Amino acid sequence: MIKICKQYAVQRLIAAVSQVIVTLVPGPDEILRFHTDEYPIPVETVGALPVLKKAKFTGFGHLPSPPEWLNKAVQYLSMTDEGLSHQAPWIKTEFVDKLIFCKEFTTEILPDVAVMTSKSFRGLIFSVY
């Protein structure tokens, strides 16, 4: 996911992938626990912070302000251990607001008689965006 965001500059792609990356960012208490045990959290080792900063401007730059969940993820990944110790726990909620942050597109797929009657048919190729 990190490589996809680094390589491409497509707004909708970066917005969608950043949502997945943010789900992997733990709360401040969990980050602090990892740092106390002297282990980096997985999203730090793959370099998620620069990608999430890019998502604020490229993926959600068309909005008046980036989503709160993205701001919190960037804030927690860039804080020191002292700052993390003073933060309240991060209670993540399910992302449901599709009208503001994402656009939903539907395409009607008509059945193809040739595909339905073929005996050597092995699979159907489709794309999800």
pLDDT of residue 129: 39
11: which 2 tokens?
A: 């707004």
Calpha distance 41→27 (Å, rounded):
11
pLDDT tens digits along 74-100: 999 999 888 888 888 887 776 655 555
Please state the domain extents for the chain: 2-104
Q: Name the pTM for this structure.
A: 0.67
In the chain, which stretches have pLDDT less than 70?
A: 94-129
**Contact criterion met (CB below 8 Å) for 98 and 76:** no
